């Protein structure tokens, strides 16, 4: 029962009127199942026709079906994959409206008068027992809808058996405050006489009824209006009772309560005693169907603080359908099937399929095509519904992953582990699937339809039609064999400019008309740019047996009802047929693939990521990847480089440069002629370089330059060397190559190059500052020169040394101050070039001689007069920072003030 039904009380104040209150107040779960055909699928008690337990299976709500009708349809119910059948209430009820069995009198079934088994509408106890016995033969469980909250509102119709129980009722004072849980559980729903459920005699009477039903063959119960019966005192305080712990201790396999979610429903507490209804999730499903929006994050959320294993879910309940508010009556069969694909594909919960009256729906509740006692609509054994049922049974224990393929919120996907997947398309339009999957490779037939889907290398492809359900599981078929070789064949299509941006190729066998790609519209082609598209097709069939049709979903060529173009691998087609063909066998061992380079000076207004799109001018086929092409490598100063592996002639190629927004040449203009090693700007070729000029006689030299950085610069300094003629970087891209710190703000660059100094220029930078300034030409490169921020300071002729030069070992000594540390360094440098003679600052560690005296051994052929020396312990130094070093004198002894003594080491001779 639902509290929203209380509006009936406003309309009726008499007993007869209260009958109608009852009719709408008590309907909550009822299912209908259609009449079975005599020769449907065979009964196979194995496979996935039924699950091992109700908790792992699917329930059919045979709403208002008689016991005999259910019994006569058990074979079809079994073959349709249902594990349980839920009946309408089976106890004795009030018979109203002149005993009419029109379905708009369904509510009388929710007005108990006595708790014996059997009633006017559904059949006798003997028929109930016969139905249960037959169900067990099909491994089907019977779930009885039990009305334990109240009786009829007609006191005179209530049996003396009930009235003889002392203090049996709370009365029929109606609920006035639906936000007050005591009011909701202790007063009357819609004027029905409310059972005094705290009364132990009442509990015994009702429990005896349940136990008798189990004895007759029932396997479980649905408790109508469960949320109107109080919980134990730890949940409901002073008015709480042990009704539910006592009642549910009845030995049945499966029990669930109608707990319609609201602010006081306490569904998580009821779940301690039974499964509960996820009524809000039903609202979510119907809203998704109405809005045609299958957003995965929305459909994944059951909207209830109860584990999925304790939930009963539905697309609609009998209350949603049959009450006067007609919450779900608007849905058509397509809506039901799509919603069922979502609900019943899910893990954990138990789905319940409400079977509507024959011809019901689309806004019509009771069309009059069937009545109470009859089977309902045939939708419960529709192919798609059955496929989802059996999928649910087969996936027991598998994890679920709910998503929208490629973000398309019109398509629902639920992949269950690596065993199966269900798709549902809320849109009227078909959709080409290309999604990652854990399913095994092979071809799968849609168990909900007749189309096929392919899994290869972890991707599932195929086309789901508008409003279609796709169910894939089980062993795939496989066309491959050890003797067959599958090739990947390509074709290209130049689409008309008026076509849409998504293009499909539909390839089929001309002899069998069987699709080689997925079903119409085929496989989506890859856009290569400039209206060119590519298809990769894995097939071992001969080209001569195949035909191809191109379409954007609206336009197609050849036209509808015309034969496709003959399929030719590697051919390029336009809307009139083949434009060019390429003989892929022309390559041989004599063909050499070259790596060709081109350079591009981008405009300063362009973005920092630049692409080169190279294509064959004759075929329009991309040589790089599809538009926008291959990303170029930034060399610095807005220069970019492309490496292209190709054996095609430059004369056949053209190139377009783009940052994704800007491009040159402009859109719809032909690309620049491709010239290997050329540098382009936005107007075309700037310079070309003959890359064949190098030979075995070319020698690469290591050249050095030095830089005295300004003291305000950072400690990391780079040198960017480039060719002044081509603007091509010789070092790595901007900011260039990191220089080696030599100390005292001096840095060294080692550069391996065979280019002439006169062709090179150099720029120094710390990443923030640079010299020369931005947009100025670099300093002319001079090997072995020392630069400061204004240019060359000194040059050194590195060729002056010869075999006659003798390197000497020179010594100096230092008496350190007692306050200095124990480790002392000597930094010796050339006063003319500022180049370190020792290692970089703080220099070479001196040898301790004792008594604060230290010795330096220095191997050098430079004159003492050109050298200076600084002593330091890493913290203290002499001379002080920014002062010139002491003049270097071999064999001299220094203290912190300079030379103390000198010794003439040449006075020693053999004659001494």
Specify the range with the lowest mean pLDDT, choosing from 489-498, 583-592, 820-829. 583-592
Q: How many helices (H) and strands (E) are present in the chain, helices listed first?
A: 16, 61
Residues 757 and 829 in one domain: no
Burial 816-851 (b: 16+ CB within 10 A, else e): beeebeeebbbbbbbeebbbbbbebbbbbebeeeee
| Confidence at 622, pLDDT banded by 50, 70, 90 | confident
Residue 243 included in any domain: yes
Please check whether residues 135 and 91 belong to one and the same domain.
yes
Are 210 and 333 members of one domain? no
CB neighbours of 2 closer than 8 A, spacing ≥ 6?
25, 28, 260, 319, 323
Percent over 70 (pLDDT), the chain: 89
Q: Identify the weakest region by mean pLDDT among 344-353, 684-693, 764-773.
A: 684-693
Determine the 3-state secondary structure of 281 from DSSP: helix
Whether residue 724 lies inside any domain: the answer is yes
DSSP-assigned letter for residue 357 = P
**pLDDT (tens digit, 9 = 90+) per residue, 640-677?**
999 998 888 888 899 999 998 999 998 888 899 999 99
**Site of tokens 């330091």:** 872
pLDDT at position 25 is: 34
Domain membership flag for residue 26: no
Instruction: Measure the CA angle with vertex 880, ends 879 and 882; round to 5°.
Output: 110
Distance from C-alpha of 627 to C-alpha of 313, rounded to nearest angstrom: 48
Residue 415: partners with Cβ closer than 8 Å, 6 or more residues away = 400, 401, 403, 421, 437, 438, 439
Residue 34 lies in a domain: no
Transcribe 16-60 into DSSP letters: HHHHHHHHHHS-------PPPPSS-S---SSTTSS-SSGGGS-EE
Q: For residue 98, name the pLDDT band (cuts at 50, 70, 90).
A: very high
Residue 242 has pLDDT above 90, yes or no: yes
Q: What is the CATH number of the domain that holds 295?
A: 3.20.20.80
33 located within any domain: no
Of the pLDDT bands very low, low, confident and very high (cuts 50, 70, 90), residue 485 is low
Residues with Cβ within 8 Å of residue 521, at least 6 apart in sequence? 430, 432, 463, 504, 506, 551, 553
Q: Are residues 787 and 812 in the same domain?
A: no
**Last residue of one domain, picked from the residues 743, 759, 791:** 791
Has residue 22 been placed in a domain?
A: no
Domain for residue 37, yes or no? no
**pLDDT tens digits for range 525-542:** 998 888 889 999 988 888
Question: Which pLDDT belongs to residue 486?
Answer: 66
Average model confidence (pLDDT) across the chain: 87
What pLDDT does residue 22 have? 33
| Residue 692 pLDDT class (50, 70, 90 cuts) | very low
Dihedral sign from CA coordinates of 335, 341, 343, 344: positive
Contact 673, 651 (CB under 8 A): yes
Predicted confidence (pLDDT) at residue 632 exceeds the cutoff of 80 = yes
Instruction: List the alpha helices (DSSP H) in 138-238.
Output: 160-163, 181-186, 200-216, 233-236
Which tens digit of pLDDT belongs to each residue from 546-578? 999 999 999 999 998 888 999 999 999 999 887
pLDDT at residue 540, rounded to an integer:
84
**Boundary of a domain, candidates 791, 817, 851:** 791
Residue 277: per-residue pLDDT = 98
Higher-confidence residue of 514 and 364: namely 364
Same structural domain, 839 and 779: no
Give the residue from 256, 277, 298 where a domain finishes: 277
First to last CA, the chain: 128
| Listed range (289-293, 336-340, 798-802) with the worst mean pLDDT | 798-802
Read off the pLDDT of each residue in 87-111 and give the average, rounded to a whole number.
97
Q: Are β-strands 760-765 and 770-771 bridged in parallel, bridged antiparallel, or unpaired?
A: antiparallel
Question: Do 90 and 201 fall into the same domain?
Answer: yes
Is residue 47, in this structure, part of any structural domain at all? no
Domain count, the chain: 6
For 154-174, the pLDDT digits (tens) are 999 999 999 999 999 999 999
Catalytic residues: 224, 258
Structure tokens at 876: 């203290």
More confident call, 758 vs 284: 284
State the residue range of the domain holding 458: 279-473
- CA 457 – CA 811 distance, rounded (Å): 73
Please indicate, yes or no, whether residues 627 and 544 belong to a single structural domain of this protein.
no
Model confidence at 582, pLDDT cuts 50, 70, 90, reads low
161, 303: one domain: no
* Cβ proximity of 761 and 752 under 8 Å: no
Contacts of 308 (CB under 8 A, 6+ apart): 302, 346, 347, 348, 349
pLDDT value of residue 903: 59
Four-residue CA torsion sign, 278, 281, 283, 289:
negative
Query: Does residue 894 register a pLDDT over 50?
Result: yes
> Quick one: residue 661, left, alpha or beta (phi over 0 = left, psi -120 to 50 = alpha)?
alpha
Same domain (yes/no): 255, 348: no
Tell me, yes or no, whether 565 and 602 share the same domain. no
Rounded Cα distance, 721 and 780, in Å: 10
In whole angstroms, what is the distance from residue 378 CA to residue 32 CA? 9
One-letter-per-residue 3-state SS of 603-629: CCCCCCCCEEEEEECCCCCECCCCCCC
The reply to whether 129 and 64 lie within a common domain is yes
pLDDT digits (tens, 9 = 90+) for 11-61: 333 333 333 333 333 333 232 223 333 333 333 444 578 999 999 999 999
| CA dihedral (499, 503, 509, 514) positive or negative | negative
825-830 and 867-872 strand pairing: antiparallel
851 and 744 in a common domain = no
Query: How sure is the predictor about 8, in pLDDT bands with cuts at 50, 70 and 90?
Result: very low
Cα torsion 778, 779, 784, 789 to 10°: value is: -100
Torsion-angle region of residue 769: left (phi > 0), alpha (psi -120 to 50) or beta?
Answer: beta
CATH number at residue 785: 2.60.40.10
Across 621-691, where does the E strand assignment appear?
630-631, 633-636, 639-646, 653-658, 663-664, 672-673, 679-681, 684-687
Q: Using the predicted structure, report yes or no on whether residue 2 has a pLDDT greater than 50.
A: no
């Amino acid at each position: 029962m639902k509290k929203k039904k209380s509006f009936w009380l406003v309309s009726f104040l008499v007993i007869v009127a209260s009958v109608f209150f009852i009719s709408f107040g008590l309907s909550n779960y009822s299912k209908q199942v259609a009449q079975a055909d005599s020769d449907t699928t065979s009964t196979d008690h194995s496979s996935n026709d039924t699950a091992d337990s109700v908790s792992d299976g699917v329930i059919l709500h045979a709403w208002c079906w008689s016991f005999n009708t259910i019994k006569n349809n058990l074979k079809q119910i079994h073959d349709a994959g249902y594990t349980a059948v839920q009946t309408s209430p089976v106890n004795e009820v009030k018979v109203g409206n002149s005993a009419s069995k029109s379905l708009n009198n369904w509510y009388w079934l929710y007005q108990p008068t006595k708790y014996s088994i059997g009633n006017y509408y559904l059949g006798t106890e003997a028929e109930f027992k016969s139905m249960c016995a037959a169900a067990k033969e099909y491994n089907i469980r019977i779930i009885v809808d039990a009305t334990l909250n109240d009786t009829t509102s007609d006191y005179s119709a209530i049996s003396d058996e009930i009235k003889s129980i002392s203090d049996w009722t709370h009365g029929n004072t109606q609920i006035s405050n639906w936000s007050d849980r005591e009011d909701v559980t202790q007063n009357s729903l819609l004027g029905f006489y409310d059972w005094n459920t705290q009364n132990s005699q009442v509990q015994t009477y009702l429990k005896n009824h349940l136990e008798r039903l189990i004895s007759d063959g029932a396997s479980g119960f649905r408790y109508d209006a469960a949320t109107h019966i109080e919980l134990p005192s730890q949940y409901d305080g002073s008015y709480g009772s042990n009704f539910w712990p006592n009642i549910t201790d009845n030995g049945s396999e499966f029990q669930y309560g109608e707990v319609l979610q609201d602010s006081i429903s306490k569904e998580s507490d009821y779940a301690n005693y039974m499964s509960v209804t996820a009524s809000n999730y039903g609202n979510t499903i119907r809203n998704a169907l109405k809005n045609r929006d299958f957003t995965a994050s929305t459909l994944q959320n059951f909207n209830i603080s109860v584990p999925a294993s304790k939930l009963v879910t539905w697309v609609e309940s009998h209350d949603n359908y049959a009450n006067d508010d007609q919450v779900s009556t608007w849905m058509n069969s397509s809506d039901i099937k799509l919603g069922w694909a979502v609900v019943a594909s899910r893990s954990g919960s138990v789905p319940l399929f409400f079977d509507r009256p024959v011809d019901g729906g689309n806004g019509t509740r009771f069309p009059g095509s069937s009545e109470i006692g009859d089977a309902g609509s045939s939708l419960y054994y529709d192919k798609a519904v059955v496929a989802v049922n059996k999928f649910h049974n087969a996936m027991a224990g598998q994890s679920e992953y709910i998503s929208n393929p490629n973000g398309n919120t019109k398509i629902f996907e639920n992949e269950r582990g690596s065993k199966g997947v269900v798709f549902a398309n809320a849109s009227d339009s078909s959709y080409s699937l290309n999604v990652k999957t854990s399913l095994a490779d092979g071809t799968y037939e849609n168990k909900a339809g007749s189309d096929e889907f392919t899994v290869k290398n972890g991707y599932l492809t195929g086309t789901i039609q508008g409003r279609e359900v796709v169910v894939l599981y089980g062993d795939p078929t496989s066309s491959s064999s050890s003797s067959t070789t599958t090739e990947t064949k390509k074709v290209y299509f130049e689409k008309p400019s008026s076509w849409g941006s998504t293009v499909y190729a539909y390839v089929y066998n001309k002899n069998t008309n069987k699709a080689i790609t997925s079903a119409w519209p085929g496989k989506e082609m890859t856009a290569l740019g400039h209206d060119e598209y590519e298809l990769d097709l894995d097939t071992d069939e001969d080209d001569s047996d195949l035909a191809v049709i191109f379409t954007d979903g609206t336009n197609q060529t050849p036209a509808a009802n015309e034969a496709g173009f003959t399929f030719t691998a590697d051919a390029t087609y336009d809307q009139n047929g083949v434009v060019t063909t390429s003989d892929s066998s022309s390559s041989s061992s004599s063909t050499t693939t070259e790596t060709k380079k081109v350079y591009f000076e981008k405009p300063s207004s362009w973005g920092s990521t630049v692409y080169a799109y190279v294509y064959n001018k004759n075929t329009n086929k991309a040589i790089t990847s599809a538009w926008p092409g291959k990303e170029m490598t930034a060399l610095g100063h807005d220069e970019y480089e492309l490496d292209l592996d190709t054996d095609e002639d430059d004369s056949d190629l053209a190139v377009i440069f783009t940052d994704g927004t800007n491009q040159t040449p402009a859109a719809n203009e032909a690309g620049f002629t491709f010239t290997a090693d050329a540098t382009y700007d936005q107007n075309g070729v700037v310079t070309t370089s003959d890359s064949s000029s190098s030979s075995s006689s070319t020698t690469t030299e290591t050249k050095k330059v030095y830089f005295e950085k300004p003291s305000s610069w950072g400690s990391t300094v780079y040198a960017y060397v480039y060719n002044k003629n081509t603007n091509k970087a010789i070092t790595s891209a901007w900011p260039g190559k990191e220089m080696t710190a030599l100390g005292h703000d001096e840095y060294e660059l080692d550069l391996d190059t065979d280019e002439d100094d006169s062709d090179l220029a150099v720029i120094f930078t710390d990443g923030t500052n640079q010299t020369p300034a931005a947009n100025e030409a670099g300093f002319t490169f001079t090997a072995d020169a020392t630069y400061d921020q204004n240019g060359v300071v000194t040059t050194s002729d590195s060729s002056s040394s010869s075999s006659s030069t003798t390197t000497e070992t020179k010594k100096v000594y230092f008496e350190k101050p007692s306050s200095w540390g124990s480790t002392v360094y000597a930094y010796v440098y050339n006063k003319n070039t500022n180049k370190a003679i020792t290692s970089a600052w703080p220099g070479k560690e001196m040898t301790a001689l004792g008594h604060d005296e230290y010795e330096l051994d220095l191997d050098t052929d430079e004159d003492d007069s050109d050298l200076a020396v600084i002593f330091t312990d890493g913290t203290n130094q002499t001379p002080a920072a920014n002062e010139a070093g002491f003049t270097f004198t071999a064999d001299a002894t220094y203290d912190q003030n300079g030379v103390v003594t000198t010794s003439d080491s040449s006075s020693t001779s053999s004659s001494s």
